[in-house]
Amino acid sequence: MKKKITAYLLLTAIAVVMIYPLLWLIGASFKSNDEIFSSVWFMPKHFDFSVYRSAWETVTPYSMGHYFLNTFCIIIPKTVFAVLSSVLVAYGFARFDFPMKRMWFSLLMGSMFMPAIVTAMPLYLLWSRLGVLDTYIPLTLPSLFAAEGMFVFMLIQFMKGVPKEFDEAARLDGCGALKTLFYVLIPCIRPVIVSISVFTFLWTMNDFLTPLINISSVEKYPLSLALRLSSDSTGNGYEQCKIIAMSVIGLIPSAAVFAAAQKKFISGITAGGLTG
C-alpha cells in the first residue's frame, strides 16, 4: 500500500511539473507585461479578458479568424493528400511484388533521414519556375506524392499484420485490389490512419519555415506566421500578454484534435499487429 501511495505521489509531482508551463502560459495571458516578468506563479492578480479581444484582432489588418481560415486551407487538403497517398504507396509495398521493390523501399527509407532544409532550396526553385509561389500549392501538393516516408513505413507495418487470408476471401467475393484496400485493409488499420492525420495536423499547425519561404503576402499567412508578425516590436514595445493570448488561442485546435483522437492515436502509435 505504501509503495502505491509513494508511486502515485511521485507521478502526481511529475505531472504537475510537466503541466505547469501550460498552466503558466494560460495564466500569463491575463497578466500585464510587468507582472509576467516579476512573478513565476501562474495565477494572475487580476483577470483581464480584454486582452483576448485585442489578441483576436492582432496588430495586422486581419483578425485571427482570417489566419485560422488560411491555416485550415492548408491543413485539410494536406491531411487528405497525405493519408490517401501514403495508404496507396504502403498498400503497394505491403501486398504486391514489382521490379526493384527492395531498391524503391530502400530509397523510401533513406528519405526519412534527409533533413528538410536540404530540399528547401531545390523546391523553392522548382515552385518559382512553375509560377506557384505565394500560393498554397507548395505547401499541399507534395503530400499528394507520399512525401512523408515515416507514414508509409507505419502503414506497411500495420498492413503486414493483417492476414493475407482476408485479401483472398475478398477476392473470392469479387473484390478487386482497390475494393480489398478500402473494405478490408483500411478498417483494420484505422488507428494508424488517425495517427497520420493527427501528426499531419499538428506538424502543419506548427510549421513556420515552409510557409515563410513560399508565402509572401500577409493576406495568405497561416497562423504560425501571423504569431511571428505580431511578436515584432511596435511603437509601444512588445505586448507579451497579447502574444501569449494569441498562442493560447492558437493551441485550441491542436488540443481539440488530439483530445478527440487520443484513443485511436495512442493505439495507432503503440500497436504493432492487427488492430481494428
> Considering all CA atoms of the chain, what is the largest pairwise distance in Å, rounded to the nearest integer?
73
3-state secondary structure of 171: helix
Domain 59-270, classified CATH 1.10.3720.10, yes or no: yes
- Residues 86, 196: contact at Cβ < 8 Å? yes
- 142-153 pLDDT, tens digit per residue, is 999 888 888 998
CA distance 222 to 205: 8
- 220-250 pLDDT, tens digit per residue, is 999 989 888 776 544 445 577 788 888 888 8
pLDDT range class, residue 266, cuts 50, 70, 90: low
CA distance 119 to 55: 35
CA distance 197 to 81: 10
Domain boundaries in the chain?
Answer: 1-48, 59-270
Question: Which class for 1: exposed (0-12), middle (13-18), buried (19 or more C-beta within 10 A)?
Answer: exposed
CA distance 52 to 107: 48
Cell, residue 72? 485550415
Question: Which class for 62: exposed (0-12), middle (13-18), buried (19 or more C-beta within 10 A)?
Answer: middle
- Residues 154, 235: contact at Cβ < 8 Å? no
pLDDT range class, residue 276, cuts 50, 70, 90: very low
Long-range contacts of 56-64, Cβ-Cβ distance < 8 Å, separation of 24 or more: 56/249, 58/226, 58/229, 58/230, 58/246, 59/229, 59/230, 59/234, 60/218, 60/226, 60/229, 60/230, 61/218, 62/218, 62/219, 62/226, 64/223, 64/226, 64/246, 64/249, 64/250
Average pLDDT over the chain reads 84
- 85-95 pLDDT, tens digit per residue, is 999 999 999 88
Q: Phi and psi at residue 43, in whole multiples of 5°?
A: -75, 125
pTM for the predicted model, two decimal places: 0.82
For the segment 184-209, the average pLDDT, to the nearest whole number, is 89
